[in-house]
Amino acid sequence: MQFPFETSEQEIFEFEDLLKNNGLTIQPNSDLERICLAVLETNAKHKKEIIHDNNTDIREVFADVAGIVDFVKQILKHKSHSDFKQVIPHLQLLNTSSTATLTKKSKITDSGNNKLMELYVALLCMSFSKNIKLDHPENSKGDNPDVMFEYNGITWAIACKALHTTNEKSLYDTIEKGTDQINKSKASKGLVIVNFKNIIERNQLWTIINQQQVDSGKEEPLFSCYSSLEIPTKILYSYGCEYQTKLVDLIGIDNLRKFSDAKKCPSGFVIFLHAMTAILHQDACPATILKIFNLVQFDAMSTDYKEICVKLNEAMHNRI
């Protein structure tokens, strides 16, 4: 998704109105306020109402503004859903998290940002399911799946987890914990989604190609640009291949297949990836947000798990 200069400003205003209608505000000095103001400033620069400093690292700017606009689009899209009230407590986390987006790294101590993933997934589920329930962000005991919903008459659960280290044993423990939560729940089936946003090598996806000259103060930054989405998308998908291999080598395929022993979870998990890049379009290189749900399989799994992953991807790209 290219950054939507033509609509982003109005969407921020609509989002602010939605918060007010639900007893919330954009709090002063919050990261949410900073980014919302950055959206207005970015639009003003695009319209050449104010001057852009060419020394600015636009990767940081667009990670903020594209990240919040992507979130806001999902919030506004589902504001009339019958279960929208379920996400109201989570909206406050946009104010209190040290990072209010899913397009940048966050601190391991920022539990609020970790729970924003739950909000995002719940919103996506509103595109194709009903009876959505979201574990309360403050009163949660940590022993229930984060999101539950009904699809085709079946109750599903999703355990949302955040990874803050590249250590594959930590990833295994994370998947195991999420699987255990789902197996103990009232859901009939479920998926563990692990957010990889904190371990992505973002510089690989959007680089300053003259970094040495920039560091020496001789040149303004020049940013890389891909000819199509194919290459950066393959880079993101490579994380799934890499960690599948690492887990098999460390844990063993037979042990990994045991995730499906309770018949609720598949023998695998889902990786969530959000990152910024730039893609050539009409002789320009607009900032583009990459969004992927990557299903990692350790054994054959039934089509309904794959169908949920497809639905999540379709919802994330506003195709349903």
Q: Which residues contact 7 (CB under 8 A, 6 or more apart)?
A: none
Confidence of residue 2 (pLDDT cuts 50, 70, 90): confident
Q: Is the pLDDT of residue 141 over 80?
A: no
The pLDDT tens digits of the residues spanning 5-46 come to 889 999 999 999 999 999 999 999 999 999 999 999 999 999
Average confidence (pLDDT) over 275-288:
93
Confidence of residue 142 (pLDDT cuts 50, 70, 90): low
Q: What's the pLDDT at 155?
A: 97
What is the C-alpha separation between 305 and 265, in angstroms, rounded? 9
Q: How does 28-57 read in b/e, with b if 16+ C-beta sit within 10 Å?
A: eebbbbebbebbeebbebeeeeeeeeeeee
230-to-226, 247, 280, 292, 297 alpha-carbon distances in Å: 9, 26, 12, 13, 22
- Please tell me the chain's helix, strand, coil percentages from 3-state DSSP, rounded to the nearest 5: 45, 15, 35
What is the C-alpha separation between 319 and 311, in angstroms, rounded? 9
Q: Taking CA 90 as the corner, what is the angle to CA 19 and CA 264, rounded to the nearest 5 degrees?
A: 140
The pLDDT tens digits of the residues spanning 165-210 come to 999 999 999 999 999 999 999 999 999 999 999 999 999 999 999 9
Count of domains forming the chain:
1
Confidence of residue 57 (pLDDT cuts 50, 70, 90): very high
E strand or H helix at 310: helix 303-316
Domain coverage including residue 67: 5-316
